[in-house]
Amino acid sequence: MHRPRKEMIAETRAKLIAAARHAFGTTGYAEASMDDFTASAGLTRGALYHHFGDKKGLLQAVIAQIDGEMAARINEVASRAPTRWQHFVDECSTYIEMALEPEIQRIMFRDGPAVLGDPAQWPNASACIVSMTDHLTALQEEGVVVSSLDPETASRLINGASSQAAQRIANSDDPEAT
């Protein structure tokens, strides 16, 4: 039976992302061989170039996937909080705690910044700032956070501090102790 082209494209992309994610997470971006991980997916380098342009484009897709999963996990944990303030705290602490996970350490906090540059400039960064700003604005309205605080500036400060803490953990010789 003939499958729709859109379905085949999605399957090819998913195979490449899964194979690259495994390779990047275990051996690292620099050591991951495009020939090896495309072959493990049953595909060719041509498929990688067609769908992602190059290895860097594939890393961006892997990071987007992991970032989406991280956001879902953060939201799931924070949604159980009894108060908006605890929700906010849980979001921040869950993000930092994820830096203890080897795959996230390597891809999101080591190789990603080394290859793609400052994570604050990645496409997902603005969504995080908007969400955090909305939370701080609501906390101001509830009287939990002082009204003189600029929510966006505070969001950028907290986001930067959280990112730096996660980077430090991920790059530490002993992440658990850090």
Query: Does residue 77 carry a pLDDT above 90?
Result: yes
Residues in CB range of 42: below 8 A, 6 or more apart: 15
**What is each CA distance from 162 to 92, 113, 116, in whole angstroms?**
7, 15, 19
* Residues 71, 81 contacting (CB under 8 angstroms): no
Would you state the pLDDT for residue 22? Answer: 96
Query: Does residue 157 carry a pLDDT above 70?
Result: yes
Return mean pLDDT, the chain: 93
Would you state the pLDDT for residue 1? Answer: 66
pLDDT, tens digit, 9 for 90 and up, residues 113-144: 999 998 888 888 888 899 999 999 999 999 99
Rounded Cα gap, residues 65 and 47, in angstroms: 19
* Residues 16, 41 contacting (CB under 8 angstroms): yes
Rg (CA), the chain: 19
Q: Give the tokens for residue 110.
A: 């080591």
Going along the chain from its start, the domains and CATH numbers come out as 5-171 (1.10.357.10)
Chain-centroid distance of CA 131 in Å reads 15
Would you state the pLDDT for residue 6? Answer: 85
Q: Give the tokens for residue 127.
A: 């969504």
Query: Does residue 150 carry a pLDDT above 90?
Result: yes
Question: What are the helix (H) ranges across the chain?
Answer: 5-26, 34-40, 45-52, 55-78, 84-97, 102-104, 112-116, 125-141, 151-171
